[in-house]
């Protein structure tokens, strides 16, 4: 009779990465358990990422934002009613995602164990429930750590103040705001700042760096900042460090310049840290770097035999899409499953701001730094018929390519559906194609995708062909 406390695989963490690792192994006949301290599956993807993305779509739909000028009308909802609709829609989508993950584990016959996990000797896991019951010990042939991440809390920021929020708390706001300061010009900061601007709040976006989204193409980042300002947002770049405290007149945000802002709430979007506290990594022989990230090799093996890790706990890029693939690859290596042996080396990056931003491959700056003689072509949506029909005329498709043989190196999209449009460019880069692919391809007309064709024509003109 099989030992009820022994599994082929124990996964620590029930977020998207943990779910995919468990399903991958279970599909190939392995006995699997997922241990998670949360009552529901989904992790940060359901709790924050999906919430903010749904909030974005609901805000645009409910307010008619960015379509008002097209039809000279807007949906007249009070802020309270709009926010109530937004919250109900967000809750519905989050629950749908949780239900889907739960059904996926049920279908694959994966056991779920609720509690706090800590690594023990000889690939054992001690699970302590929150209800005071005795700890449970289980063992496994393989353990995969996918415990995800949480918002980073700088020690100087008073997050115990109810009006000082991190990104997870911001995604749960259930009432309209009159004014808001967002500190951080990365992906999360840009998303929340633009969403609340669409909802009618007076928003100030404070970025310590010289430009928003520093990992993106510089031209695209500058264009996004210009669009934000045209929306009515105040964008402060190169503003240095900001701090918050409770003053006599309410919440105060102090800027490095000496200016004091008094918003209703402030969101500090200061990045995320892996959830590794209390896992007993040192005792189990699992090494971490100076930032507490678990060290893994190309197969996602840690320094402890039979223990793997994937997702945010191992550091950048800390994208949900990549984390899921890492977990699948880890499971395949762990059990010699002949399926996935490497993660895509060309993942796309998407920012779900208003408007969206997406990229894949090299920026102009990165190509130049690598000594590549490159050129670029652009097609602005203001000249795109489908964009004109929908009113989404801000932004562009930008192609970065090698000057000598026209090989596509990078694709950068700013505008509605950017996170969808970028995948066409990703495919062309993967098969080593040139920008001539877009010229020879027939696109549906009118579509925003045909912007690729005109960006390619513009690129040819730039190199005199």
Instruction: Report residue 324 as tokens.
Output: 């899921």
pLDDT at 67: 58
Instruction: Give pLDDT tens digits along the chain (465 positions).
Output: 356 689 999 999 999 999 999 999 999 999 999 999 887 887 766 655 666 777 777 777 766 665 555 555 555 556 666 667 777 777 888 888 889 999 999 999 999 999 999 999 999 999 998 777 778 999 999 999 999 988 889 888 999 999 999 988 888 777 778 999 999 999 999 999 999 998 889 999 999 999 999 999 999 999 999 999 999 999 999 999 999 999 888 999 999 999 999 999 999 998 888 899 999 999 999 999 887 899 999 999 999 999 999 999 999 998 889 999 999 999 999 999 999 999 999 999 999 999 999 999 999 999 999 999 999 999 999 999 999 998 889 999 999 999 999 999 999 999 999 999 999 999 999 999 999 999 999 999 999 999 999 999 999 999 987
Which CATH code, of 1.20.120.160, 3.40.50.2300, 3.50.50.60, 2.30.300.10, is assigned to 164-270?
3.50.50.60
Number of other residues whose CB lies within 10 A of the CB of residue 369: 10
The three-state secondary structure class of 319 is coil
pLDDT at 1: 33
d(CA 283, CA 293): 16
pLDDT at 133: 76
CA distance between the termini of the chain:
73
Domain boundaries, the chain: 6-150+273-334, 164-270, 355-462
pLDDT at 242: 93
d(CA 12, CA 118): 9
pLDDT at 446: 96
Check if CATH label 3.30.390.30 holds for domain 355-462.
yes
CATH topology match: 6-150+273-334 vs 164-270: yes
Dihedral pair phi/psi, residue 7, rounded to 5°: -130, 155
Task: Give the H/E segment covering residue 144.
Answer: strand 136-145
Which is it for strands 136-145 and 307-309: parallel, antiparallel or unpaired?
parallel
What pTM does this model have? 0.91
Q: What are the residue ranges of helices labelled H in 15-127?
A: 16-27, 43-44, 50-63, 68-71, 79-107
CATH number corresponding to 6-150+273-334: 3.50.50.60
């Amino acid at each position: 009779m099989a030992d009820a406390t022994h599994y082929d695989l124990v996964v620590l963490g029930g977020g998207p990465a943990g779910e995919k690792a468990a399903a991958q192994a279970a599909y190939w006949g392995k006995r699997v358990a997922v241990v998670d301290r949360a009552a529901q599956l989904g992790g940060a993807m359901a709790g924050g990422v999906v919430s903010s993305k749904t909030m974005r779509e609901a805000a645009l739909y409910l307010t008619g934002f960015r379509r008002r000028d097209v039809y000279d009308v807007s949906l007249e909802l009070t802020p309270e009613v709009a926010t109530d609709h937004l919250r109900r829609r967000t809750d519905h989508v989050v629950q749908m995602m949780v239900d889907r993950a739960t059904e996926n584990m049920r279908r694959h016959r994966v056991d779920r164990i609720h509690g706090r996990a800590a690594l023990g000797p000889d690939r054992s896991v001690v699970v302590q429930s929150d209800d005071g019951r005795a700890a449970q010990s289980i063992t496994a042939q393989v353990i995969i750590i996918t415990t995800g991440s949480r918002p980073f809390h700088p020690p100087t920021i008073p997050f115990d103040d109810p009006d000082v929020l991190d990104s997870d708390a911001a995604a749960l706001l259930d009432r309209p705001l009159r004014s808001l300061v967002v500190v951080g010009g990365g992906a999360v900061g840009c998303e929340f700042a633009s969403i609340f601007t669409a909802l009618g709040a007076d928003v100030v976006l404070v970025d310590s760096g010289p430009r928003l989204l520093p990992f993106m193409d510089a031209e695209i980042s500058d264009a996004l900042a210009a669009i934000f300002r045209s929306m009515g947002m105040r964008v402060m770049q190169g503003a240095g460090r900001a701090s918050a405290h409770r003053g006599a007149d309410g919440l105060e945000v102090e800027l490095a310049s000496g200016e004091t802002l008094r918003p209703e709430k402030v969101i500090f979007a200061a990045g995320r840290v892996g959830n590794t506290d209390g896992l007993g990594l040192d005792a189990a022989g699992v090494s971490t770097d100076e930032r507490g990230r678990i060290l893994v090799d190309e197969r996602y093996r840690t320094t402890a035999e039979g223990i793997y890790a994937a997702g945010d706990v191992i550091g950048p890029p800390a994208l949900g899409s990549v984390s899921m693939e890492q977990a699948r690859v880890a499971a395949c290596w762990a059990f010699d499953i002949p399926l996935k042996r490497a993660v895509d080396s060309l993942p796309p990056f998407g920012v779900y701001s208003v408007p969206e931003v997406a990229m894949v491959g090299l920026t102009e700056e990165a190509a130049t730094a690598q000594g590549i003689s490159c050129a670029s072509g652009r097609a602005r949506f203001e000249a795109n018929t489908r964009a004109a029909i929908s009113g989404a005329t801000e932004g562009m498709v930008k192609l970065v390519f090698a000057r000598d043989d026209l090989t596509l190196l990078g694709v950068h999209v700013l505008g509605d559906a950017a996170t969808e449009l970028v995948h066409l460019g990703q495919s062309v880069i993967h098969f080593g194609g040139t920008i001539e692919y877009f010229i020879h391809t027939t696109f549906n007309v009118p579509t925003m995708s045909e912007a690729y064709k005109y960006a390619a024509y513009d690129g040819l003109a730039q190199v005199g062909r």
